[in-house]
Amino acid sequence: MLQTTLVRDNSTKYTYTSHDQLFKELINNYFEEFLEAFFPDVHSNIDFTAIKPMSEEVYTDVLKGTARRLDIVIETKLQDEETIIIIHLEPQSYYENNFHERMYHYFSLLYNKYRKPILPIAIFSYDEKRNEKDKFIIDFPFFHVLTFNFLMLELRKKNWRAYIESTNPAAAALLSKMGYSQDEKVEVKKEFLKMIVRMELNPAESRFISGFFDIYLTLNEREEKQLMEEIQQMENAEEIFELSNSWERRGREEGLEEGRQEGLAIGKKEERRNIAMELLKEGLALELIVKVTHLTREEVEGLKGNLRVTRLD
C-alpha cells in the first residue's frame, strides 16, 4: 500500500495507508450502482445518459504551497430537466480536522470556475468514530452569513445485512467497510461470495470487486477454515470456490489437485499476467493490481513498462 506522512501542528507526524485511490477507482467504475445503493434519491433524479467525467481539478493553497486533487468530479443532467449539475465525491480514509471546511473550499473552487449547481458528497471509510462537523458555517452574533451542507456516507454506520440480497457490485465491495463485528467476519465474507455468484459478473469485474473486498476484510487461518467448511455445505459451493481469491490461496497451500487450481479465481500465471495488463490499461492503481492478481510488485511494474513501450511503438 502507498504510505503517506501527514504533518500536523508543525510537530507531530502521522503515517497512514492511503486508500482513497482505491475508492476512486471503485466509484468511477460503478458510479451509477454506487448512487443506487447509497443515495437512491440522487440516483432517481440523474440522467445517466449524460454522464461526463471531468478532468481532475486541483485545489491549490497558495499560502502553504500545497495542492490536492479533487477525487471524483462528474458533470451530468437531471432527469427531464435541462439543468446541468456537477457531482463532486470525496472519499476520506482518515480523520482530518476541519474536513467540512475543505469540502467548502472545493465547492467554491468548482462553482467559481463553472458556475453550475454542484452536489457535494463525502464518503467516510475509516473505522474511528467521526468527530468532524457535518456542515460549514460562517456567522456572527448579529448576522448569519452561510451554512454549507454536503451529503455523507459513513460506511461504519451501515448495516451490512441490509445489502446482502442486492445484486449491486458497489454495495458488495463496500460490504467490507461496513459495521460488522469481529465475530461476524466469516459470515460477511460468505454473504459477499454469494453476492458475487448471484451477480454473474465477467471475470475482470469479479476479480476487481473481490480484490477490493479482500483488502479490507481478511480472515485468519481459523476463520478461513470455518468459511470453507460452511461453504462446502452449500448447493453452489463449487461456484463460490471458483470465484474466491482467498479460497484459491488456501487451496494451493493445502495441495488441491492441479486441475482445480487452474480453475480457481486467479488461475495460472499467464492468465494473471494478462489480467494485470488489462487492469493497467484501465489505469488501476498498482497496489490493487498486485492484490488482485497475486503477482509481485516487480512483475506488475515490468508489465507496466512493457505497456508503455508498446504504446510508444
pLDDT digits (tens, 9 = 90+) for 126-173: 776 666 667 899 999 999 999 999 999 999 999 999 999 999 999 999
Task: Look at residue 53 and tell me if it is in a domain.
Answer: yes
Of the residues 157, 191, 219, which one is the last residue of a structural domain?
Answer: 157
277 vs 8, higher pLDDT: 277
The pLDDT, as a whole number, for residue 13 is 36
Take residue 132 and report the three cell numbers written for it: 468532524
Mean pLDDT of the chain: 78
Take residue 159 and report the three cell numbers written for it: 448495516
Q: Using 50, 70 and 90 to split pLDDT, how confident is the model at 23?
A: confident
Task: Look at residue 7 and tell me if it is in a domain.
Answer: yes
Instruction: Please compute, for residue 288, the number of CA atoms within 13 A of its CA located in the half-sphere on the CB side.
Output: 26
Task: Look at residue 165 and tell me if it is in a domain.
Answer: no
Q: Using 50, 70 and 90 to split pLDDT, how confident is the model at 92?
A: confident
The pLDDT, as a whole number, for residue 278 is 78
Question: Is 107 in the same domain as 143?
Answer: yes
Question: Is 239 in the same domain as 186?
Answer: yes
According to DSSP, residue 97 is labeled: T
206 vs 251, higher pLDDT: 206
Of the residues 157, 188, 215, which one is the last residue of a structural domain?
Answer: 157
The pLDDT, as a whole number, for residue 64 is 53
Question: Is 107 in the same domain as 219?
Answer: no
Whole-model pTM: value is 0.69
Question: Is 128 in the same domain as 184?
Answer: no
The pLDDT, as a whole number, for residue 269 is 67
- What are the residues facing 139 on neighbouring strands? 144
Question: Is 114 in the same domain as 39?
Answer: yes
Q: Using 50, 70 and 90 to split pLDDT, how confident is the model at 38?
A: very high
Q: How far out from the chain centre does Cα 84 lie?
A: 26
102 neighbors 55 (Cβ within 8 angstroms) = no
The pLDDT, as a whole number, for residue 167 is 93
Which DSSP string corresponds to 282-304? Answer: TT--HHHHHHHH---HHHHHHHH
Full domain range(s) for residue 300: 180-312
Question: Is 187 in the same domain as 307?
Answer: yes
The pLDDT, as a whole number, for residue 238 is 75
- What are the residues facing 120 on neighbouring strands? 88
The pLDDT, as a whole number, for residue 200 is 82
Q: Using 50, 70 and 90 to split pLDDT, how confident is the model at 120?
A: very high
Q: What is the pLDDT of residues 66-75, one digit of tens each?
A: 555 667 889 9
The pLDDT, as a whole number, for residue 65 is 52
The pLDDT, as a whole number, for residue 58 is 60
Of the residues 157, 172, 192, which one is the last residue of a structural domain?
Answer: 157
Q: Using 50, 70 and 90 to split pLDDT, how confident is the model at 310?
A: low
240 vs 60, higher pLDDT: 240
The pLDDT, as a whole number, for residue 5 is 33
Q: Using 50, 70 and 90 to split pLDDT, how confident is the model at 299?
A: confident
Q: Give me the mean pLDDT over the 259-273 stretch.
A: 55
Task: Look at residue 164 and tell me if it is in a domain.
Answer: no
Picking from 62-66, 112-116, 180-184, 197-201, which range would have the lowest pLDDT averaged per residue? 62-66
Task: Look at residue 169 and tell me if it is in a domain.
Answer: no
